[in-house]
Amino acid sequence: MANSSSPWSSQNDCRNNTETFCVFSSKNFAGGRGISILTTPDRVESLQQLPAFVDADALLGVNEQPSPPFEERELPGRGRGLIANKMLHRGDRIFAHTPILMLDGESFGDLEREEWLELEHTAVNNLPPTTKKMFSALYGRQVTDPVSDRIDTNAFELELDEVTYYAVFPEIARLNHDCRPNAAYFFDRQSLTHYVHAITDITPGTEITITYIDPHMPRQKRLKKLSSLWGFNCSCSLCSLHPELAHASDERLDQITAISERLEDWATAPPQMARTLISLYEQERLHAPSSSAYWYAALTSCAEGSYWDTIRYAQLAVELGVLDYGFSDESFQLMRRLAKEPEKEACWLTRLK
């Protein structure tokens, strides 16, 4: 039971094989929303030190949505989904929520199937009643067990301290998939908060979508993955293209991969190459991943000593990258500095040296 140093309000339910996995539940977490975490006692020790558990300010404004910018509707052929009810501009926040369930990926490999099923059920049963109701209202693609099916259909994969977890955010779980989505998401590890932002302008009446898979994959691979993991035939605008146009899109995706690889050695690559990458991403309507193209454009411009181009591209890399990787991603510190004083960075004029 809870003691003064532990956030957990329920007796731990454990199973062990090579390792011991337990369910740790807190009914008070995030102002009474609650959370259940299935992991090892060692890992939960470090999780419970995170600001999300120990700093009341870490969750200010999170899980609150007095007037959501969308309505939930039944949509033909895709279950329920979220439709924008007002104009959303690139960068506008759509969601900020903590998980109600977090399941350690290693438990699936280590425990017997029956054992982790029991733990999954405990995890859900330990949630506060309103939160449990939100979980029960989720759609679950029927495969094995009602609890497990809901988790598999709705969980996001995320990494914390080099451990993979599957996390359920019931509100965000209503977002349907599109291979060219209008929203992007990231997980903030300190506040255990999943953020979703508009990655392009979204007009009222448009469905808000995210991508469930790596959108760089060619059409056939995308279709296969979506069908095997989520059980639907993708009919998004890209997957429905005429075969000729779908082929052209696949070729652009190949080019994006090849140019990105070449640009890893940005110090010797011309800025025109990075600009071509930006253009390919625009043609493909891949807004969130295009931050990497702006990133390379900033670095190649810096290497060439193009002051204003460096600033322009670094600013764009930060604006888009933050929506895809998060506010605190360290890799953006360099871009932030480049956006201010490019001539002071190590990349400046390196092509001419």
Ligand X SMILES: C[S@@+](CC[C@H](N)C(=O)[O-])C[C@H]1O[C@@H](n2cnc3c(N)ncnc32)[C@H](O)[C@@H]1O
The footprint of ligand X (CB under 6 A) covers: 77-81, 139, 141, 153-154, 173-174, 176-177, 230-232, 234, 236
Instruction: Give least dist CB 176 to ligand X, A.
Output: 3
Instruction: Give least dist CB 70 to ligand X, A.
Output: 13
Instruction: Give least dist CB 87 to ligand X, A.
Output: 23
Q: Which residue, 144 or 190, is less far from ligand X as judged by CB? A: 144
> CA angle, corner 24, sides to 134 and 15, nearest 5?
110
The residue whose Cβ lies closest to ligand X is 79
**Under 8 Å CB-to-CB from 65, ≥6 apart: which residues?**
95, 171
Residue 150 tokens, joined: 């809901």
Q: Which residue, 176 or 291, is less far from ligand X as judged by CB? A: 176
What are the φ and ψ backbone dihedral angles of 341, each rounded to 5 degrees? Answer: -135, 75
Nearest residue to 83 via CA among 95, 74, 93: 74
Q: Which residue, 155 or 274, is less far from ligand X as judged by CB? A: 155
* Surface-to-core class of residue 340, CB atoms within 10 Å of its CB (0-12 exposed, 13-18 middle, 19+ buried): exposed
At 186, which helix (H) or strand (E)? strand 183-188
CB atoms under 10 Å from CB of 175, counted, come to 24
Distance separating alpha carbons of residues 97 and 187, to the nearest angstrom:
10
Instruction: Give least dist CB 220 to ligand X, A.
Output: 16
Q: Which residue, 122 or 154, is less far from ligand X as judged by CB? A: 154
At 195, which helix (H) or strand (E)? strand 193-198
Q: Which residue, 43 or 222, is less far from ligand X as judged by CB? A: 222
Contact 281, 256 (CB under 8 A): yes
Distance separating alpha carbons of residues 22 and 327, to the nearest angstrom:
32
Instruction: Give least dist CB 168 to ligand X, A.
Output: 10
Instruction: Give least dist CB 261 to ligand X, A.
Output: 30
Q: Which residue, 9 or 200, is less far from ligand X as judged by CB? A: 200
